[in-house]
Structure 1
Amino acid sequence: MKRAIYLVSIILPVFLVLASCNSIKNLKTAVEYDKQANFASYNSYKFDKELSYSDTHDNYSSENQRTFENAIHDQLRRKGLEETETPNLYVNFFVVDTQESKSITHTSYRSQRYGGMSHVDTYIKNYELGTLVIDLIDVSSKKLVWRGLANGVITGKQKDMQRTINEAVRAILSKYPPRK
């Protein structure tokens, strides 16, 4: 029994660490949309190069940019939309990365024969918070009709960024079209 508990106490944390590597922790999504828009009428899209690449967010590589586009293409196709030269919707996306820090304090108490001792550890945890925003713009009115965003703590290495990007795009576009 002790051996089984020991194995679970070793294997489970290792599995959880591996499963969470190169992913987005605490992924949160939100959606805003035009309540008057007829989402059933939208059946085509196109990335508008003027819109898709924000000049204030140059920190993702062209490889990551293609990964974002491919993930968005894949999810929109799954929703029944087709990429065309004469679309109903323009697609815009951008990424905002911020460096955050958090102070963490841990207090422990160790009892001893004649009383005890308290010990306080404080350390600063630095992390990267990423936000992906996907906009859908009505071509005829040139108005934003749907905006989805995902934000969370980014972990992992560049080589696994494709999985992270796909996860965020899938989470956002799972909320399109909006359910009124």
Structure 2
Amino acid sequence: MTRLVLIVLSTLLLASCASTPTVHTDADPSANFSAYRTYTWLNKPDQNGVPPLAAQRIVEYVNAQLNAKGWRETPEGDVAVVAHVATQQQQSLDTMYSGPMYGGWGWGPGWYGGMGMGSATTRVRTYTVGTLVVDLFDTKTKQAIWRGTASDTVPDDPAKGDALLRAGIAEMFEGFPPGNVPAK
């Protein structure tokens, strides 16, 4: 019995860790990504009202992904990086029903039956959905060459939020630079 409980708990724990944001990428098919090797930040997320620690993490994680692809940050890069964060309050309705309550049917001194009325309770749940958008622009042509977006529910726990942010940016740059991997 104890083993079964441990298996169920570990499965639930792994399932909760597997949650990643919804990620989409898009790229200009005419952009020659093999010509790009340097980048510069044109607009960091801290300029958009994002909390300072979250903004630092976004810059750190995007830099790590670009550096892993062989790109390096310079004051006058081939590509300009722009990051924006948007949040939106959303609501869901959860309704619980407690009925209907049926009485018994049967045979006895007389045939009888009954029915009671059930009730419904609706709870409104308000939550925040956050979206990170990272755009890359060719600094010479001033044209957009790539966009990645990651969206998910913003958790109350900063550690969970950091894990979602890290996972979303990692997935965003998984097939970067475009060419061999189709856009998601």
TM-score bracket for this pair, using the shorter chain length = 0.7 to 0.9
1:6-155 matched pairs, under 5 angstroms: 7-8=5-6, 11-12=9-10, 15=13, 19-20=16-17, 27-48=21-42, 51-53=43-45, 57-58=48-49, 60-109=50-99, 113-114=103-104, 115=115, 118-155=118-155
Q: Percent identity?
A: 22
Could you state the TM-score of these two structures normalised by the residue count of structure 1?
Answer: 0.78
Give the number of the structure whose alpha-carbon radius of gyration is greater: 2
Counterpart in 2 of 1:156?
156
- Larger proportion of strand: 1
Could you state the TM-score of these two structures normalised by the residue count of structure 2?
Answer: 0.77
Shift of 1:40: 1.6
Higher relative contact order (CA 8 A, sep 6+): 1
Runs of 4 or more consecutive aligned structure 1 residues displaced over 6 Å after TM superposition: none
2:179 maps to 1:176: no
CA contact (8 A) 2:89 2:128 kept: yes
RMSD in angstroms over aligned alpha carbons?
A: 2.9
- Structure 1, unmatched stretches of 5+, are none
Q: 1:153 to 1:163 in 2, by over 3 A?
A: same
CA contact (8 A) 1:133 1:148 kept: yes
Shift of 1:14: 6.4
> What is the distance in 2 between the residues matched to 1:90 and 1:176?
16
> What is the distance in 2 between the residues matched to 1:33 and 1:103?
37
- Structure 2, unmatched stretches of 5+, are 105-114
> What is the distance in 1 between the residues matched to 2:177 and 2:7?
43
Letter in 1 for 2:65: Q
